[in-house]
Every structure is written in C-alpha cells, then in structure tokens.
Amino acid sequence: MKQYVIGIDIGGTNTVIGVVSRAGDVLASDSIKTRDYPSLDNYVTTLSSRIQALSDRCGVSGNIEGIGIGAPNGNYYRGTIELAPNLPWKGVTIPLAQLIEGRTGIPTHLTNDANAAAMGEMTYGVARGLRHFIMITLGTGVGSGIIVDGNLLYGSTGFAGELGHVIVDRTPQARLCGCGRHGCLETYCSATGIARTARERLSYSVEPSLLRRIEPDKITSRDIYDAAVEGDAMAISIFRETGIILGRALADMCVFSSPEAIILFGGLAKAGDFIRRYTEEAMNENMLNIFHGTVRLLVSGLKDADAAVLGASALGWEKVVFEQNNVSSV
C-alpha cells in the first residue's frame, strides 16, 4: 500500500488540493478558482495537472494510494456530482470521479462535503475510535455525515444523511428553504440562518444592540459572534435561540441511530460556547430517556485550514474498506 493520498475539496468558490500522509499531515496544498472553469473539460485538465505538479513537488509521484474528493451533492456510489446549484458546470450529473481517475490513473472516490468531513474526523480527528457518530457541518447550509458501525451511511441512493433538511418548524411561519420546502433545520442553524434570525430580531424589536451598527443585509454570523464576545445581549440571545433549535433537532436524530457522539464542524461551530452550551443543554433536555447520558456533543478538532482537504483525503484510503462491505456492488 502506498503512503500518500490526494484530498480535494470542491466548493463554489475554491477547489483546494492537498497531499496528505498516513499520519494526516498535509505536505503541500494548492488551489484553483472553481468559477474560472465554466468548461468541465478545462477544469478536469487543470485539476489533474495541478495534482501531478503537487505530487512532483513533494517527491511522492508514484506513491499515491488514491484521490478523495468532497463536493456539494457528491454521490459516493456513482462518483458523481448531482444537481449542485453552486457549481458552474452544466448538466444534471457530473461524473467527476471517473473523469479525474481517467486523467490521472489514480483510483478516485467522491462523496459529499459533509460525508468527507465525517471521514476526516474519524480518520484524523476527535472521532477516532468511534463506531457510531453524526457529523453536523454548520456552514452556509447545514450538512451531515452519519457513521454507523464505522462506515458512512449512504442509503439506497447514496444521498443518506441530509440532516440539514429535517423539518424543525411545521407552523405556517416556518422559513422557506433553498430546497423549496419550509422549516428545514438549515434555515435556522446555518451561518446564513443565524444571520436571518438577527435581521428578524432587529426589525421586530427596538432592543438596543451592537448589531444595529451594521446594515441588516450585511450582517454575518461572524458579526453576531463578535457582538456576543462583547457581551451584546441580543447577540447572545440569538445564539441561545439557535442552540435550542439545533439541540432539539440533535436529540431527535439520536432516536434514529443512537450515536456515541454528535460532532459540530464548520463556521458556526467556531462560535464555541456561545453555540455549544445552549445546544448541549437543549439536546440533553429533549433526549429520549433510554438515551440519557449516552451521547456526547463534541466540536471538531481538525485544524481549520486543513479540515476540508483532510476530510476529502480520508476517502483516498477508503477503497479497500468499502470493497469489503460490498458497497461497490450497489
């Protein structure tokens, strides 16, 4: 078995490539602007040559076990990206793993970005040794990766684990989600969701707040965090409200897969105790009795800059494991 893998994290803005060792060290990384490549063929060509160049630079060409790709709406079974609204390529289904494997000659696996984060956490992070956990990524949206018996839960379609779209509000006031439905978790507990909560609060109340210094449309989750750090009551209360919604939803998820831990990851998770404390309280208060005390709430331990690439790279080691489980036959 070879000693290195390539991790690729594809986002709407950047595509980041890293060479990763067995120990989880990122030897070197590179990036290209995803949007600069409206032609899929050019994108694949550039990405492949950058992979080669990066491997050469590290002196590890010929010693690459596999390539792992994390991408929005990535499908592990098919190695495709499907219906991803923020990526520039036309077509419903992009067979990206096959294209990259064809160009590089290196076995390539692809999954969605939240699943990649879960793999990364299990391989290099706080989930090492855990057999059952749920990774919740709190970014622009809310994503998730569910680990059952040490394996990612893909389900019949390869899209299992879309927990950002569990419905947390069924009232007529529930927020509209990008998916076209109302009341999805991610409309409240993502970076954009919490900013939306702040804008609503500012418009519905006359409560003083540091947030009033910012133009409402420009408020970000970072601004709310900064205000909370300065002791702003409204900002803290917004984190509390968000944490309660998230914690209740997490308690609900536990009745499904009975995880040992739920791990928070991504931008909003960096708000630390402002989000974690209220989330944990609400999760424990709403936990079904038989699961009391069985689920820990953890925050990702992966280094910020490397997390996405590490997560994707973990998939580069995955091939053998998945073949053992016959997932490849699905």
Q: Which chain residues interact with a second copy by CB under 8 A? A: 73, 82-83, 131-132, 146, 148-149, 151, 153-163, 165-171, 179-181, 248, 252-253, 255-260, 286, 288-291, 294, 325, 327, 330
Determine the Cα–Cα distance for residues 91 and 2; give it in Å rounded to an integer.
35
Q: What are phi and psi of 34, to 5 degrees?
A: -55, -45
Structure-block tokens of residue 113: 């970005």
DSSP state for residue 231 in the 8-state scheme? T
Minimum CB distance to a second copy, residue 277 (Å): 21
Least distance between a second copy and beta carbon 295 (Å)? 8
Least CB distance to a second copy at residue 229 (A): 30
Which residues touch 119 (CB under 8 Å, ≥6 apart)?
Answer: 68, 111, 145, 152, 311, 314, 315, 318
Q: Which residue, 18 or 70, is less far from a second copy as judged by CB? A: 70
Residue closer to a second copy by CB (options 33, 170) is 170
Q: Which is nearer to a second copy, 1 or 290 (CB)?
A: 290
Please report how close the Cβ of residue 232 comes to a second copy at its closest, in angstroms: 27
Closest CA to 77 of 158, 180, 193, 172: 158
Closer residue to a second copy in complex, CB, 259/267:
259
Q: Which tokens go with 294? A: 């069985």
Please, what is the minimum distance in Å from the beta carbon of residue 251 to a second copy? 8
Q: How far apart are CA 202 and CA 240, in angstroms?
A: 16
CB of 280 to a second copy, least distance (A): 17
> Which residue is listed with tokens 């602007």?
33
CB of 133 to a second copy, least distance (A): 8
Q: Helix/strand/coil (H, E, C) string of 99-113?
A: HHHHHHCCCEEEEEH
Bridge partners (DSSP) listed for residue 31: 16
Q: How far apart are CA 26 and CA 75, in angstroms?
A: 25
Closer to a second copy at the Cβ: 262 or 314? Answer: 262
For a second copy, the closer of residues 197 and 209 by Cβ is 197
Strands 142-148 and 151-152: antiparallel
DSSP characters for 108-144? EEEEEHHHHHHHHHHHHSTTTT-SSEEEEEESSSEEE
Residue with Cβ nearer a second copy (149 or 217): 149
Segment holding 147, helix H or strand E? strand 142-148
Helices (H) and strands (E) in the chain, counts: 10, 13
Q: Which is nearer to a second copy, 233 or 320 (CB)?
A: 320
Output the smallest distance, CB 181 to a second copy, in A: 7
